[in-house]
């Protein structure tokens, strides 16, 4: 990999410091509330879409019909600025352009529809979901 | 004579195989290249060379802990140069010690042609 010169690196570091508040924050998820975990999970689909389709946030903003700055916040996981409701609305708009997301929303709806199961059954389902995610 | 800033002398660079492979942006990453001296000393903005005094005392194993935090994550790249994507993230220090849970900024790159490898450009205190 071609390395940066020291001067270039200093500039990159300086810019990162300056735009610190816009950067994605990676933190230990075990301390987050269920609501925040759902929000993070929903935001992840926008990033996944952007990575797989090689699209910038402003292009996704056009698809969703939201301002680019708003979409940039979604893509950088600024979850305190959104409700689950809003994220689902954005994801539904994106689903019109992507079959994978459309199908995911069907799955999400079915999961939410599920009645509360006995603890052992819920744990088994959670484990199966984790395993399925690892195999992707 | 070469200008001070155009140098790329940043001390030791370690290449490691991660003890546990991670999935980042859907790619499996097994190897990491770490500019360990640059991370610990930092660059002096005036002389554009490594500082004399350490700002952190991370080992390669500690940096590996930071990288493991990327497992399962999807992050949008900040910049692209050719087939290389540069990522900049804020990350809570997972290393036990005086920096535990303190905010750091990590800058790293992935190469589209070397999807198994991650290049840690720098990691510095962000508070």
d(CA B2, CA A6): 12
* Residues in chain B within 8 Å Cβ distance of A57: 76
Q: Write down how long chain B is.
A: 127
For residue B105, tell me if it sits in a domain: yes
A44 close to A90: Cβ distance less than 8 angstroms: no
Is A111 in CB contact (< 8 Å) with chain B? no
* Ranges of each domain in chain A: 32-135
Q: Reply yes or no on whether the pLDDT at B40 is more than 90.
A: yes
What is the predicted pLDDT for the residue at B37?
Answer: 92
Q: Reply yes or no on whether the pLDDT at B6 is more than 70.
A: no
* Residues in chain B within 8 Å Cβ distance of A6: 4-10, 43, 48-49
d(CA B101, CA A28): 9
What is the predicted pLDDT for the residue at B8?
Answer: 73
What is the predicted pLDDT for the residue at B82?
Answer: 86
To the nearest whole number, what is the mean pLDDT of chain A? Answer: 91
The parent domain of residue B20 ranges over 9-125
Residues 6+ away with beta carbon under 8 Å from A36: A79
Q: What is the least distance, in Å, from the CA of A36 to any CA of chain B?
A: 15
B1 close to B8: Cβ distance less than 8 angstroms: no
Torsion of CA B64, B70, B71, B75, to 10 degrees: -150
Report the largest interatomic distance among the alpha carbons of chain A, rounded to a whole angstrom.
60
For residue B19, tell me if it sits in a domain: yes
For residue B85, tell me if it sits in a domain: yes
A44-71 mean pLDDT: 92
d(CA A94, CA A123): 31
If you measure CA to CA, which chain B residue comes closest to A15?
B88
* Residues in chain B within 8 Å Cβ distance of A26: 69-70, 73, 75, 89-92
B9-33 confidence digits (pLDDT tens): 788 899 999 999 999 998 999 999 9
Number of domains chain B contains: 1
ipTM of the complex: 0.86
B103 close to B123: Cβ distance less than 8 angstroms: no
Q: What is the least distance, in Å, from the CA of B52 to any CA of chain A?
A: 15
Query: Could you tell me the pTM of the whole model?
Result: 0.86
Q: Indicate the pLDDT class of residue B48, thresholds 50, 70 and 90.
A: confident
B54-101 confidence digits (pLDDT tens): 999 999 999 999 999 999 899 999 998 888 999 999 999 999 988 998
Report H helices in B35-75: 36-41, 60-68
The verdict on a CB contact (< 8 Å) between A25 and B6 is no
- The region of weakest confidence among A2-6, A49-53, B52-56, B111-115 is A2-6
If you measure CA to CA, which chain A residue comes closest to B76?
A47
Phi-psi region of B93 (alpha: psi -120 to 50; beta: other; left: phi over 0): beta
Report H helices in chain A: 6-18, 34-52, 57-64, 68-75, 84-95, 99-113, 119-135
The verdict on a CB contact (< 8 Å) between B26 and A52 is yes
B96-119 mean pLDDT: 92
What is the predicted pLDDT for the residue at B4?
Answer: 56
The verdict on a CB contact (< 8 Å) between A48 and B74 is yes
Phi, psi of B104 (to 5 degrees): -120, 155
What is the predicted pLDDT for the residue at B7?
Answer: 73
What is the predicted pLDDT for the residue at B3?
Answer: 58
Q: Reply yes or no on whether the pLDDT at B2 is more than 60.
A: no
Strands B27-34, B103-111: pairing kind: unpaired
Count A/B contacts: CB-CB distance under 8 Å: 101
Identity of the residue in A10, A17, A75 whose CB atom sits nearest the CB atom of B76 = A75
Q: What is the least distance, in Å, from the CA of A4 to any CA of chain B?
A: 7
Q: Does domain A32-135 have CATH number 1.10.3720.10?
A: no
The verdict on a CB contact (< 8 Å) between B43 and A13 is yes
* Residues in chain A within 8 Å Cβ distance of B125: none
Q: Judging by beta carbons within 10 Å of its beta carbon (0-12, 13-18, 19+), is residue B37 exposed, middle or buried?
A: middle
Joined together, the tokens standing for residue A60 give 């996704």
């Amino acid at each position: 990999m071609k390395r940066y010169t020291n001067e270039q690196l200093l500039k990159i570091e300086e810019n990162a410091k300056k735009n610190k508040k816009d950067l994605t924050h990676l933190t230990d998820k075990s301390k987050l509330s269920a609501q925040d975990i759902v929000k993070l999970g929903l935001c992840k689909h926008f990033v996944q879409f952007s990575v797989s389709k090689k699209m910038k946030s402003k292009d996704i903003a056009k698809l969703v019909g939201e301002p680019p700055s708003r979409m940039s916040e979604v893509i950088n996981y600024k979850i305190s600025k959104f409700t689950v409701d809003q994220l689902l609305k954005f994801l539904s708009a994106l689903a019109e352009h992507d079959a994978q997301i459309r199908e995911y929303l069907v799955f999400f709806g079915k999961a939410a529809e599920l009645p509360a199961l006995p603890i052992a059954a819920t744990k088994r389902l959670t484990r199966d979901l984790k395993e399925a995610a690892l195999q992707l | 004579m070469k200008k001070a800033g155009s140098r790329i002398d940043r001390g030791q660079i370690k290449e490691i195989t991660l003890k546990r492979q991670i999935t980042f942006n859907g790619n499996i990453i097994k190897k990491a290249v770490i500019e360990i001296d640059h991370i610990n000393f930092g660059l002096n903005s005036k002389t554009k060379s490594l500082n004399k005094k350490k700002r952190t005392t991370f080992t390669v194993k500690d940096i590996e802990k930071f990288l493991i935090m990327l497992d399962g994550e999807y992050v949008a790249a900040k910049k692209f140069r050719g087939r290389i994507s540069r990522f900049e993230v804020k990350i809570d220090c997972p290393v036990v010690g005086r920096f535990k849970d303190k905010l750091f900024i990590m800058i790293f790159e992935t190469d589209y042609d070397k999807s198994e490898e991650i290049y840690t450009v720098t990691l510095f205190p962000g508070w």
